[in-house]
Amino acid sequence: MPGNKTLVLVSRPNGPLAPDHFAIVDKEIPALAEGQIKVRNFYASLDPGIRKTLGEDKSYWQPTPLGAALTANTVGRVLESRHAGFQPGDLVFGTGAMQEISVYTPGKMCWKLPPDSRLPLSAHVSILGGTGLTAYFGLLDVGKPQAGETVLVSGAAGAVGSIVGQIAKIKGCRVIGIAGGPEKTRRVVEKYGFDGVIDYRGKSREDLQAAIAELCPDGVDLYFDNIGGIQLDAALSQMKWRGRVAVCGLISEYERTEGSGQIMHNLFSIVAKTLRVEGFLSFVYHQQFREAQRELEQWILEGRLVYDDYIREGIESAPEAFMALFSGANNGKVMVRIAAPDDAI
Amino acid sequence: MPGNKTLVLVSRPNGPLAPDHFAIVDKEIPALAEGQIKVRNFYASLDPGIRKTLGEDKSYWQPTPLGAALTANTVGRVLESRHAGFQPGDLVFGTGAMQEISVYTPGKMCWKLPPDSRLPLSAHVSILGGTGLTAYFGLLDVGKPQAGETVLVSGAAGAVGSIVGQIAKIKGCRVIGIAGGPEKTRRVVEKYGFDGVIDYRGKSREDLQAAIAELCPDGVDLYFDNIGGIQLDAALSQMKWRGRVAVCGLISEYERTEGSGQIMHNLFSIVAKTLRVEGFLSFVYHQQFREAQRELEQWILEGRLVYDDYIREGIESAPEAFMALFSGANNGKVMVRIAAPDDAI
């Protein structure tokens, strides 16, 4: 089987994603340099932040060049190794491209799966990958929740938000979610165990403020934001004195047309309530990943933490899966199965 | 001389302040309760944050009721005391009302002036009062500048901003200011010793971004914001990885019409660069005020720190002085001299 099917960007979106922004092309597999490994990928995740690299905006991350592969987190098996610590057959996580076969340089963004993990392979690009680690460090290190506090989570039915809420419950907080539509709001309460939920659909900024005020009558100690936009703005108005906002993502902004902006009414709350609004990216915590993965897996095995993966078959389904992330059609962490795992972990 | 001239709010502004929002009326002087003191005020400051209490917005501080006095910081002399620690003749700072005679309960918002201070009385509502303390704690505790870092300050010719920039220079930082017009920008560099200055007048969001990028080619480590609006938005786009934004005030928002908002383009920088954006109010540091006042006074006496007071004569000039704060017509800390100090401190 020659070639290496890869998802590439063929035109830059300005507004919502469409299938014709992408193509699946055969790319060559580069020769291995010393210290590198060649990996057959089984699962690859589609992460919302990647959307920010598809435009021309150079002020954040480097744009994905036209014709280049989209970045993805993958889990796969080593086919060939020129790295002393890795053998063919090893299972590895890597941050690279959405493609069948990747060449990785092991380091902080490529590691062996924990050999004693009892979770399925797909979990290593979701709950034990960027998603779970983002929820874990964003909530615990940036948000610093204390037992008895009120935690508000946007994107509460999403891959990160659902984990954030459950960890906050484990830490003894009262947890309110924001999600869209009857199916998702039901899942937030019934499956993920949040204490209450707000359906943002059809709600104005003022409606959202009123809904948060009703469910958080004493205010919000910690807001974990995946969404931005009027959800962030409404939450700012309902924060407690010295509250914290952990800014994980602003998915409402990612499909914004270039040059448009987000209208904010409540930024003054940052002063009036002396708030701390802090962004984070999970990879800065890479030295603590193994410890966090152990704790997350333990909670899962004890039945205290549940997670959902939204798996689509084949790399060809990647564009549709990526679009689902922004329309909210997904139910859990969005990933594609690139190849059937050759055997269990 | 019966009565107690007091500046009161008579109608709520929706948009810019005008003289007919205010009146000077005679208020009764309440009888002293146990533990209180009666003070003749010499100077009273007009602080931008008070603007936020003149509307009907209850989500922040309590609105000033119609007919009630405007809050001010004052310095004056005790006329009568029912507090064991205070004697007639003592000089005191207090947060109370813009009026001739105030009744205060000594505590964290009312204290005796340091007996060994060598600065004029007016300094105790500016550089040694809320203004200097806001600059000191906002910069040092929230911003945490390190020698060699690049610090950007908006409202750089203002009472707080000018002090922030000078303290940042004392701490070994490279300091760039943003101010409006040729006179103010010149003062920022020539009088306050900033390393560079940007005139925001006539500049779009994109112009401001380009101007910041030019003067801070390696990015901004710490942005001290007094203004908000497009200055904040432009600064967000130019922050360094892990930069900090100390949000002191958002004066561009204070005269906003109710229901309008602020368009932000660069909030995603908070995530992409893992920024910390933190608001603060100086009074939370009240236990450290005396120490900070000593250090500020020392820097002044050594000639390392200069400050400007914009003093208007008589309580009748308070509305005009307050409006000057928002039009930028002032040059330094805005205050009125309510009565001539009866003798030097």
CA dist B164 and B16 (Å) reads: 27
Pick the closest to residue B239 from B262, B214, B216, B263 (CA basis). B216
- Judged on CB neighbours under 10 Å (0-12, 13-18, 19+), B204 is exposed
A264 and B261 within 8 Å at the Cβ level: the answer is: yes
Contact call for residues B299 and B131 (beta carbons, < 8 A): no
Token representation of residue A221? 């100690």
Q: What is the 3-state secondary structure (H, E, C) of B130-193?
A: HHHHHHHHHHHHHHCCCCCCEEEEECCCCHHHHHHHHHHHHCCCEEEEEECCHHHHHHHHHCCC
B contacts of A278 (beta carbons < 8 Å): 270, 274-278
Q: Which residues of B touch A143 (CB under 8 A)?
A: none
In a domain, B302, yes or no: no
Assess whether A256 and A194 both reside in one domain.
yes
Using CA coordinates, name the residue in chain A closest to B143. A276
CB pairs under 8 A between A and B: 115
Facing residue for A275 by CB, picked from B268, B279, B284: B279
Amino acid in position A297: E
Q: Which residue of A has its CA nearest to B237?
A: A59
B135 lies in the same domain as B242: yes
Pairwise CB contact (< 8 Å): B272 & A228? no
Query: What string of DSSP letters covers A30-97?
Result: PPPPTT-EEEEEEEEE--GGGGGGSSS--SSSPPPPTTSBPEEEEEEEEEEE-STT--TT-EEEEEEE
Question: Residues 6 or more apart from B287 whose CB is under 8 A from it?
Answer: none
Query: Are A116 and A143 found together in one domain?
Result: no
Interchain CB distance below 8 Å, A253 and B247: no
Q: State residue B255's pLDDT score.
A: 72
Q: Which residues of B are less than 8 Å from A59 in CB distance?
A: 237, 266, 269
Q: Measure A82 CA to nearest chain B CA, in Å.
A: 33
H or E, element range at B49:
none
Per-residue pLDDT of A199-227, as tens digits, reads 999 999 999 999 999 999 999 999 999 99
Whether A170 and A272 share a structural domain = yes
ipTM confidence score:
0.92
Number of domains in chain A: 2
Q: Which of A230, A268, A276 to mutate to test the interface with B (most CBs of B within 10 A)?
A: A268
Q: A54-63: long-range contacts (C-beta < 8 A, 24 or more apart)?
A: A54/A9, A54/A12, A54/A13, A54/A17, A54/A21, A55/A12, A55/A13, A55/A14, A55/A258, A56/A12, A56/A258, A57/A258, A59/B237, A59/B266, A59/B269, A60/B268, A60/B269, A60/B272, A60/B273, A61/B272, A63/A12
B244 lies in the same domain as B147: yes
> Mind telling me how many Å the CA of A230 is from chain B's nearest CA?
11
Query: Dihedrals φ, ψ of B71, to 5°?
Result: -70, 140
Tell me: do B198 and B323 sit in the same domain.
Answer: no
Residues A91 and A141 in one domain: no
Q: Do residue B135 and residue B167 come from a single domain?
A: yes
* One domain for residues B138 and B278: yes
Alpha carbon of A217: minimum distance to chain B alpha carbons (Å)? 13
Say what the pLDDT of residue A1 is: 47
User: Does A29 lie in the same domain as A154?
Assistant: no
Residue A293 domain-assigned (yes or no) = no
Task: Identify the DSSP state of A139.
Answer: I
Mutation site for A-interface testing, chosen from B231, B271, B278, B286 by largest number of A Cβ within 10 Å:
B271
In a domain, A36, yes or no: yes
Searching chain B, which residue's CA lies closest to the CA of residue A244? B278
SS3 assignment, position B335: strand
Min distance B281 CA to chain A CA atoms (Å):
7
CATH of the domain at A217: 3.40.50.720
Round to whole Å and give the CA distance between B262 and B295: 37
What are residue A145's phi and psi, to 5 degrees?
-70, 140
Does residue B184 sit within a domain? yes
Tell me, yes or no, whether B298 lies in a domain: no
Which residues have CB under 8 Å from B141's CB, separation 6+? B280, B285
Give residue B251's pLDDT.
Answer: 83
Residues of chain A below pLDDT 70: 1-2, 59-60, 258-259, 343-345
- Cα torsion for A245, A160, A109, A48, to the nearest 10°? -90
Residues of chain B with C-beta less than 8 angstroms from the C-beta of A274: 278-281, 284
Same domain, B107 and B149: no
| Residue matched to tokens 């905006």 | A57
Residue B292 in domain: no
Q: Which two tokens stand for residue B190?
A: 């020539």
Please give the torsion angle defined by the CA atoms of residues B55, B134, B81 and B315, in that order, rounded to the nearest 10 degrees.
-50
The verdict on residue A313 lying in a domain is yes
Would residue B64 count as lying in a domain? yes
A 10 A CB-CB count for B170 gives 15
Mutate to test the interface with B, among A206, A220, A250, A262 (most CBs of B within 10 A): A262
Q: Return the pLDDT at B344.
A: 47
Q: Residue A286: which region, alpha, beta or left (left: phi > 0; alpha: psi -120 to 50)?
A: alpha
Residues of chain B short of pLDDT 70, as ranges, are 1-2, 59-60, 258-259, 343-345
Count helices and strands in chain B by DSSP H and E runs: 9, 16
Which stretches of chain A sit within 8 Å of chain B by CB? 49, 52, 59-61, 228, 232-233, 237, 247-250, 253, 259-281, 284
Show the tokens assigned to B340.
């001539």
- Cβ burial, residue A110 (10 Å; 0-12/13-18/19+): buried
B109: domain CATH number is 3.90.180.10
CA distance B327 to B332: 13
SS3 assignment for B267-320: CCHHHHCCCEEEECCHHHHHHHHHHHHHHHHHHHHCCCCCCCEEEEECHHHHHH
Domain that holds residue A98: 5-126+308-337
Closest by CA to B309, choosing from B121, B108, B116, B58, is B121
Same domain membership, residue B276 and residue B318: no
